[in-house]
Structure 1
Amino acid sequence: MRIAVTGSIATDHLMVFPGRFAEQLLKEQLERISLSFLADQLEVRRGGVAANIAFGLGLLRLDPILVGAAGIDFAEYDTWLRANGVDTSSVQVSDSLHTARFVCTTDEDQNQIATFYAGAMAEAPRIDLATIAARTGKPALVLIGADDPAAMLRHTAAAHSLGIPVAADPSQQLARLDREQTRQLADRAGWLFTNEYEAALLLERTGWTEQHLLGRVGTWITTLGEGGVLLARSGAPTLRIPAVPTDKIADPTGAGDAFRSGFLAGTAWDWPQEQAAQLGCAMATTVLESVGTQEYKLIPSDLIARIDQTYGNDAARAIEPQLARVS
């Protein structure tokens, strides 16, 4: 079962200023700011929700199809993704624009000044999912991740037209979507991903009640951070899956994307949803313990041990045969 993952491809440039922004800002000069901060740390990380999710699926040997737009600087990133099991042949590479970029400086009080450059992501609406399906073979599932809104809507319509099940994951783009756009993205999704804040925003954006929304999707998956995950279906009790605990949190960025990789992998392997969510939670914690969204390694024995400790021996034994094939 191949999964096509659509959405953003980006790089993050993260700097640390060893001081306080507030000490550099003059109240009487706020209308004419011209400041330069000398940073003493710089980390360049690979990112973008689609690339992060596809990376996790690649580590699980699922040969995911990455669908998104990247820039003229994509060659090194492309090599990295291919080396980690991601099919990048469907990435649209711009002739003139750079890959989307997040540039952020953080001071010692954890205040941030950041700029997001969309760059090549603006070309994502040109991508035709039907053409990709004809070339690579029709995927069994398409995840619609945060992207240029026009691309998200186009991919959703194309997947429904082709009869491909959709996993909707609008995440941070919910703030930009109007009511009709949000309804189009959520309606008829087999799986709907949100975090706790996005769940409330989604209901506000659609104007639907929780029960009405559940009647229009398959399973609504809500991540709660250290509170675990909720799996909600119409007419069934909501399941809460505990998070896999850790006391070694290094960086929370990318944990939600890793959860999606694990959950979608379980779905591809026809696992029960509770079991798929357990793998997702184990992968999320693995990412929490590393710095960067794609710097972690998956060790099957480690994942099985985490699942054993959190969910019990039966859960670990159920997952073990499939994970043994990953190494």
Structure 2
Amino acid sequence: MRIAVTGSIATDHLMTFPGRFTDQILPDQLAHISLSFLVDTLDIRNGGVGANIAYGLGLLGRRPALVGAVGRDFTEYGSLLRGAGVDTDSVHVSGTHHTARFMCTTDEDGNQLASFYTGAMAEARSIDLGATASRLGGLDLVLVGADDPEGMLRHTQVCRDLGIRRAADPSQQLARLDGDSIRDLVDGADHLFTNEYERALLLSKTGWSETDVLARVGTWITTLGPKGCRIDRAGQAVIESAAVPALAAVDPTGVGDAFRAGYVAATASGLESVQAARAGAVMATFALESVGTQTYVFTPERLHERLVAAYGPEAAGITPVLFDGAHR
């Protein structure tokens, strides 16, 4: 299956604060917040939701086409992505801007404070997804991830025009997008991905009910952190799928992106939603156990062991199908 992932490509600056943000916030001073956190660690890693998802798909042998915008400082980063099995030929290189930057501080409870510098990502709106489809002889699935808002809308329309199956994953951009734009991104999607907060925000900004959303998408996946995920389809009972327990919760950044990579790869292999959610969950746990969003690695054997340990013998059939599907 020919898969394209559109979305942000960024460099992550990840820091840890040895305390709780909530202990530093005074309720009666919320109108005048001025805080500085002395952090213990700084890790500079490659990231961005599009690149993170593509990285996971690459490790699973899918060779996804990454579609996004970067600066001239992308040379080394691009080489690493290609080494992980990602097709970067559709990445636009800006002549004037740096690659986007994500700056995030995590406290001891896993809460995060973050800022995002757009940089070259603003040029994603100039990318023609149709050219990628032509280069690859067509596309079977496009995941439209968080990116320049105009670029997200353009990619969505190209998928409609060309009849390409798509997954909508607006994630962080839900805070910036207006209701009309969100409705446009979601309507007609084969899959919709959100977390719990994004789910509520989507409903609030669109004015839709859950029933309204499910009338417009095939499957709605909502990640629930350590509780796993829920799977919604119109006219069917909600399905809940448990997470894979982590050996150590090292860094939550990019865990949702890794989940999406596993889920999309499993779906592309023909696995049904619960099995796909389990494949996504084990990928998410691999990411959680590593610092950075593109540092985790695994073998098929290790992935199989973690799936069976978490879900029992009924999960034994996921890995063979998952990796066999990579060669179709």
Q: Same fold (TM over 0.5)?
A: yes
The alpha-carbon distance between structure 1 residues 240 and 104, as it changes in their structure 2 partners (threshold 3 A), is closer
Unaligned 5+ residue runs, structure 1?
24-29
- Quick one: distance in 2 between partners of 1:266 and 1:112? 30
Equivalent residue for 1:82? 82
Q: How far is the alpha carbon of 1:228 from its aligned partner? A: 0.8
> Match for residue 91 of structure 2?
91
Is structure 2 residue 268 aligned with structure 1 residue 275?
Answer: no
Q: Which amino acid aligns with 2:188?
A: R
Secondary structure at the counterpart of residue 44 of structure 1: strand
Deviation at 1:119, TM superposition (A): 0.4
For residues 236 and 114 of structure 2, what CA distance do their matches in structure 1 show? 43
Name the stretch that deviates more: 301-310 or 105-114. Answer: 105-114
- CA offset digits 1:36-72 (Å, max 9, x no partner): 9986643111100000000000001101000000011
Equivalent pair of 1:300/1:326 in contact (CA under 8 Å): no
Say whether the 8 Å CA contact 1:262–1:279 is kept in structure 2. Answer: yes
Task: Name the CA distance, whole Å, in 2 between partners of 1:221 and 1:115.
Answer: 26
1:261–1:280 CA contact under 8 A, matched in 2 = yes
In structure 2, what residue type is equivalent to 1:281?
A: A
1:120 aligns with 2:120: yes
* Match in the other structure for 1:67: 67
Could you tell me whether the CA contact under 8 Å between 1:64 and 1:86 is conserved in 2?
yes
Aligned AA for 2:129? L
Which residue identity is paired with 1:129?
L
Q: Which has the larger radius of gyration?
A: 1
- The residue that corresponds to 1:26 in the other structure is none
> What's the TM-score once normalised by structure 2's chain length?
0.89
Answering whether residue 153 of structure 2 is matched by residue 174 of structure 1, we say: no
Alignment correspondent of 1:43: 43
Aligned partners of 1:286 and 1:36: how far apart in 2? 31
Read off the aligned partner of 1:240 and give its amino acid letter. Answer: E
- In structure 1, the partner of 2:188 is 188
Does 2:298 align with 1:291?
no
Task: Name the count of aligned residue pairs.
Answer: 323
State the SS of the aligned residue for 2:73: coil
Q: 1:318 to 1:96 in 2, by over 3 A?
A: closer
| In 1: Cα distance, 2:266 partner to 2:167 partner | 14
- The TM-score with structure 1 as length reference comes to 0.90
Shift in alpha-carbon separation, 1:209–1:108, aligned structure 2, 3 A: closer
1 CA distance for matches of 2:141 and 2:326? 20
SS at match of 1:189: coil
Question: What's the counterpart of residue 27 of structure 1?
Answer: none
For the 8 Å contact 1:71–1:97, the answer to whether it is kept is yes
Change (3 A) 1:320 1:149: same
Distance (whole Å) between structure 2 residues aligned to residue 306 and residue 112 of structure 1 = 27
CA contact (8 A) 2:100 2:119 kept: yes
> How far apart are residue 234 of structure 1 and its match?
0.4
User: Structure 1 CA distance, aligned partners of 2:76 and 2:240?
Assistant: 40
Q: 1:17 to 1:168 in 2, by over 3 A?
A: closer
Could you tell me which residue of structure 2 aligns to residue 54 of structure 1? 54
- Aligned amino acid, residue 118 of structure 2: A
Instruction: Give the structure 2 partner of residue 258 of structure 1.
Output: 258
What's the CA shift string for 1:272-296, capped at 9, x where partnerless? 1111111111111111111111110
Q: Name the counterpart of 2:6.
A: 6
The 8 Å contact of residues 223 and 230 in structure 2, kept in 1 or not, is answered as yes
Distance 1:236 1:37 in 2: 47
Report the Cα distance in structure 2 between the residues aligned to 1:318 and 1:108, rounded to whole angstroms: 34
Equivalent residue, structure 2, for 1:147: 147
User: After alignment, is 63-72 or 315-324 more displaced?
Assistant: 315-324
SS of match in other structure, 1:73: helix
In the TM superposition, what whole-angstrom CA distance separates every residue of 1:159-186 from its partner, at most 9, and x where no partner exists?
1110001100000100111111010000
For 1:98, give the aligned amino acid: H
CA contact (8 A) 2:300 2:319 kept: no
Q: Which residue of 1 aligns with 2:198?
A: 198
Give unmatched runs, 5+ long, in structure 2: 25-30
- Distance of aligned partners of 1:230 and 1:40 in 2 relative to their CA distance in 1, 3 Å threshold: closer
CA distance 1:301–1:182, shift in 2 (3 Å): same
Q: Which residue number in structure 1 is paired with residue 220 of structure 2?
A: 220
Provide the alpha-carbon RMSD of the alignment. 2.9
- Cα distance, 1:326 vs structure 2: 6.9
**1:242–1:136 Cα change, 3 Å:** same
- Aligned partners of 1:262 and 1:188: how far apart in 2? 22
The alpha carbon displacement at 1:212 in A equals: 1.3
Fraction of identical pairs, as percent: 58
